[in-house]
Amino acid sequence: MSEQKIIEIEVLRYLPESDQAPHSEIYKVPFTDDMSVLQGAQYIKDNFDGSLTFRWSCRMAICGSCGMMINGVPKLSCETFIRDYYPNRITIEALANFPIEKDLVVDLSSFIEKLEAIQPYIIPKEPRTVEQGEYIQSPAQFAEYIQYTSCINCTLCYAACPQVGLNQNFLGPAVIALAHRYNMDSRDGGQDQRMELLASMDGVYNCSAVGYCSEVCPKHVDPGNAVNVNKINAAKDYFLRFLSPKGGSK
């Protein structure tokens, strides 16, 4: 029987009832090689301090709840393994660029408002009745947007984006990727409505192509590409609008 391995986990704690500012606490957590950082946090909650607060649900990188800064890098804690950091200390903090609500839980309301604003649903090109049957879409049309449907709203890309940190009103990577997802859908006709936001002061031009959003995305959505492609779309829209008063965001 091998000796029980123990790792130090430093947690950024913040209890709004008693704390003026966040502070760090270090816990010595026994672990096995199959344990994720999320399980480490659960061990702390079960054995050391039941007040430790963090979001989690599926434990398999699909719900997007358990994002946190792990040694300064935004990651899903359920798919990050303690063994990869041992014997060094792991530091876990709430996701960057969001206000902390409590411990590792951030206030996502600004993200939700931005997401609602871009109308992340199909806006049909023309009214359609049940009798007309289903929409027909070719595999090539499907391939245009499928990548962006993988977004799980984990907001790791917001924590990765320095421009979100500098301008809290910037729509940000995931929201723009989802706007792009619907814009690229052959059934959708809402491009003009979404373009107003994409091309606005808080839209795509806040991006300076750092590219870290795409790097940290756990679902390979490549939100950075969606943002940058929409810089081209916004420029085209501007000049086509200039040429034809009806506008031409296609």
Nearer to another protein, 62 or 229 (CB): 229
Provide the CB-side half-sphere exposure for 74 (13 A, CA). 24
* Four-CA torsion 208, 209, 213, 216, nearest 10 degrees: -130
Question: Least CB distance from residue 143 to another protein, whole Å?
Answer: 8
CA distance 123 to 181: 12
Bridge partner list, 6: 30
| Shortest distance, position 225 Cβ to another protein, whole Å | 6
For residue 47, how many C-alpha atoms fall within 13 Å in the half-sphere facing its CB?
A: 11
Residue 101 or 215: the one with the smaller Cβ distance to another protein is 215
Binding footprint of another protein on the chain (CB under 8 A) = 72-73, 140, 143, 162, 165-166, 208-212, 214-215, 222, 224-225, 228-229, 231-232
What are the residues facing 106 on neighbouring strands?
100
Least distance between another protein and beta carbon 205 (Å): 13
Report the nearest approach of another protein to the CB of residue 166 (Å).
Answer: 6
Least Cβ distance, residue 230 to another protein (angstroms): 10
Q: Which is nearer to another protein, 87 or 139 (CB)?
A: 139
For another protein, the closer of residues 72 and 245 by Cβ is 72
Q: Measured from the CB atom, is 200 or 228 closer to another protein?
A: 228
Three-class SS of residue 250? coil
Residue 249 Cβ vs another protein, minimum distance, rounded to whole Å: 15
The rounded distance, in Å, linking the Cα atoms of 233 and 240 is: 10
Nearer to another protein, 201 or 209 (CB): 209
CA distance 153 to 61: 11
**Strand-pair partners of 187:** none
- CA 81 – CA 110 distance, rounded (Å): 30
